[in-house]
Structure 1
């Protein structure tokens, strides 16, 4: 059994700054880390590996610096990492990103399961996983919060969507996107850290995947959308009011506020 885990290196969103004039994220203003939801996907893959003996391949599209994220993935239990990196991949929207990741999966060859986080913290679109599945023409289950059973032919998962909880069975090959509720990612062991330090991360460019994608499907040329501007809303301060004297008048005023805010229903 082979599992491909989609990994993205993202800026530390607690420290990253925004360029208000250009309307973009200043990615150089903070350090980088593996997208937290992708860590949940990786942990789920490693758990399946421990149960079934599966091979786990971490796959990422990004700049050369994303090699560190893939080495961390190996330290956390992946068997190998592959980096999709090429200047022609730059400027990709979700469609072009999904095209490129799907091409990388096709280049890997046979696989049974693709795992991804439900979204990334820098984009928050939640679209790439599903788009990859559609491009690969395989079934997919989104927002998985629990994996109940894995066999050599299929996987049973619990997904929480809106007000419903569903138990779904999916035949391989297929794709899952997972939520943060599925597990608590473990920390790397010292042994795996040493393994990761020595690991070689192959880098695949457009030429390597030319059988599956060309310039028109990748990067800026393959993007159907463009971010025109990012606006950071001003912080909203909580307002309060205190009544000290006429309690009855205070109750009337407070009731009117609740009515106007549609918090209190008047019949």
Structure 2
């Protein structure tokens, strides 16, 4: 029972914040904006902690890539029940251009270094909505993957994953080591209690640089422009079905 799980915890703009695009359209405004853990990452942490509580795994390691502030996100994971954290320091332009491929390379390197048997990630982050990191990590490690998981069960060296797919559910069984990505219905994350928040302050967070892992952060993607969605035009009220058909004809809809 020496299984170790790596869990990714991404720091994102809080879901309740109204996003504003920078005047130069190079990205979104992040200065002075509330950040929190990506909601799908919270679900991933909860699942890892549940597996530990069932004594199916021994250690939960929370990992986050970014500047000093991501340590707050790691501390949240530690307060939820993770055993220790790894802060992969990425700052400046490298952080601005950090994408799923670079993060996947970091996770693949850490999974080998930490001898992890399972990597659990959120299925996507609410800032870029890429839904790529889990799949890329599995590809780089050449591990099986169970994405969009709404149910996870460990059975010896196998993982049973119920996946949410278009039009229903798919149940698969994969061999460990494996990568699993958490969907919305996998669980309801717990709130960190005050005693656990205090305990989290004493838990260890290791600092690692991408170069220590042999990872090149050069991005192959260039963001050309960021724009807000177009404003929705006001609707028109009609009194009768004939009026509606007339309006649709005028607009070329029928």
CA contact (8 A) 1:85 1:204 kept: yes
Give the Å deviation of 1:257.
5.5
The answer on 1:5 being equivalent to 2:1 is no
Give the whole-Å Cα distance in 2 for the aligned partners of 1:251 and 1:134.
55
Q: Tell me the equivalent position of 1:227.
A: 223
The alignment partner of 2:192 has SS state of coil
Give the Å deviation of 1:142.
1.0
1:20–1:233 Cα change, 3 Å: farther
Give the whole-Å Cα distance in 1 for the aligned partners of 2:125 and 2:134.
10
Number of corresponding residues = 246
TM-score (norm 1): 0.85
The alignment partner of 1:177 has SS state of strand
1:60–1:144 Cα change, 3 Å: same
The alignment partner of 2:200 has SS state of helix
TM-score (norm 2): 0.89
Q: Tell me the equivalent position of 1:41.
A: 44
Deviations 1:103-146 (A, max 9, x none): 222222x1111101110011101011110111111010111112
The answer on 1:19 being equivalent to 2:25 is no
Q: Tell me the equivalent position of 2:244.
A: 254
Q: Tell me the equivalent position of 1:265.
A: none
The answer on 1:94 being equivalent to 2:100 is yes
Give the whole-Å Cα distance in 1 for the aligned partners of 2:56 and 2:150.
22
Give the whole-Å Cα distance in 1 for the aligned partners of 2:209 and 2:64.
12
The answer on 1:132 being equivalent to 2:137 is yes
Give the Å deviation of 1:190.
2.5
The answer on 1:186 being equivalent to 2:190 is yes
The answer on 1:82 being equivalent to 2:72 is no
Give the whole-Å Cα distance in 1 for the aligned partners of 2:149 and 2:48.
13
1:122–1:172 Cα change, 3 Å: same
The answer on 1:60 being equivalent to 2:79 is no
**Structure 1 unaligned blocks of 5 or more:** 244-249, 263-267
Deviations 1:7-58 (A, max 9, x none): 1111124324221423311111411100000001111111111112521111
Give the whole-Å Cα distance in 1 for the aligned partners of 2:84 and 2:253.
55
Structure 1 or 2, whichever has the larger Rg, is 1
Give the whole-Å Cα distance in 2 for the aligned partners of 1:228 and 1:29.
24
